[in-house]
Structure 1
């Protein structure tokens, strides 16, 4: 029964994550609820070991249907990997408590801005090209990669928002581009969790397959309905992130 429940949660997480990120809102609480006595690092490792396969699947699906600026994204993905590694090391030296309290406010600002700009992410009109686009994507990759390794919540949503707001992508292209960077930062985190022995390998195959199925369903829906649908999903996920991170930071804090 435990495996069935977390597999369903992994499928739902893959569905949400493939569209706009935020799958951890579903799978992580399920893992903590079903395995309350397990070390948090182990449950985080299980979450990463499942979600990385769905994110890889979504990246391949988007790449076949959406024009991807590989010249910018591949270097950015490499820096996202490096940034995530550095962030994961820094969190062993510095507490992220201040960031935990600030995060809901940052997400709220992102949500208000998105709601106020009705045309935000509607049209795909990249602001940069060539080396400038590569440089902008690399800054985004190393910064958000570091954040993912150091803290994590909302990484996918931040990537989508910044691709839309800073690089001028529509929500569909932003979501597709964000997936590749998210894969890189997830692989970095997963490598560290595996090295530290924080992964239950006997769950990886089943949860990974469930996540891939959810990811395939979500990606197809995003491709079918386009940027308008992804924008609505983005607003819903960011709203849920505000509630979740606000509760963790201000209500449930020790």
Structure 2
């Protein structure tokens, strides 16, 4: 367990991560490096990050649901699929080669940032659906959830892109619908990491308290302003994730 001043620093990082994650995803960009800077080994940092991530995404999901932007009961099947995907991805962390994915991921994230920055007409209005809900649940949800358990960075942005481009949701509605699935894949990953990653439970719960506060504030801001705050923050977090991954490789 880190010293008190490090715990307070990590709680500050968790608050910021909860705020950003509730709006655009990418909270792990803040918390995982912060945990590693505090001296937590990489595998244990990923495991501990899942603890506070579960609470943050749950808070955001409930906040959006209370405003009627998402029906959590209607997402039960998708959430179950996301849980299984996150669990499977985390179990496969040590069995699958992830180096190639680390090289491809920055390019994909920058592509997402450019798409949301430059594509006209992306707002809070729903548009034509390009994929049936059942097919979306059977393909897009488990693929992204598996990735979330395996690596994690950018999973929220990928889900957002899927809901906008394939499900035809507006920006705010897409944001609201990602949160329960993020929660479920985080929970699946946490179950797996609890056995292999040895998470720091007390530290994770302390960070979770700050993450809840940040997620509540972030969700309220997103619901008040909508696409005008979500799009820029999504572009910034996707670009930041890409630059961080490039820096790690170099």
Could you tell me whether the CA contact under 8 Å between 1:17 and 1:215 is conserved in 2? yes
Q: What is residue 180 of structure 1 aligned with on the other side?
A: 180
1:121 and 1:138, CA in 2 relative to 1: closer, same or farther beyond 3 A? farther
Which of 17, 20, 27 is the aligned partner of 2:24? 20
Displacement of 1:15: 0.6
Q: What is residue 4 of structure 1 aligned with on the other side?
A: 8
Displacement of 1:228: 2.1
Question: After TM superposition, where is structure 1 displaced by more than 6 Å over at least 4 residues in a row?
Answer: none
Separation of aligned partners in 1, 2:67 and 2:16: 23
Displacement of 1:233: 1.2
The answer to whether residue 168 in structure 2 is matched with residue 161 in structure 1 is no
Q: What is residue 222 of structure 2 aligned with on the other side?
A: 222
Question: Normalising to structure 2: TM-score of the pair?
Answer: 0.92
SS at match of 2:226: helix
Displacement of 1:148: 0.9
1:197 and 1:89, CA in 2 relative to 1: closer, same or farther beyond 3 A? closer
How many residues are treated as equivalent by the alignment? 246
Q: What is residue 67 of structure 2 aligned with on the other side?
A: 65
Q: What is residue 120 of structure 1 aligned with on the other side?
A: 122
Could you tell me whether the CA contact under 8 Å between 1:122 and 1:228 is conserved in 2? no
Gaps of 5+ in 2: none
Gaps of 5+ in 1: none
Separation of aligned partners in 1, 2:73 and 2:47: 31
Where do 1:102-251 residues align within 5 Å?
102-125=104-127, 127=129, 132-196=132-196, 198-249=198-249, 251=250
Could you tell me whether the CA contact under 8 Å between 1:72 and 1:134 is conserved in 2? no
Separation of aligned partners in 1, 2:10 and 2:41: 17
Q: Deviations over 1:38-87 (max 9, x none)?
A: 32111111111112101101100001113325576221111111112222
Displacement of 1:88: 2.0
Separation of aligned partners in 1, 2:143 and 2:196: 24
Separation of aligned partners in 1, 2:206 and 2:35: 14
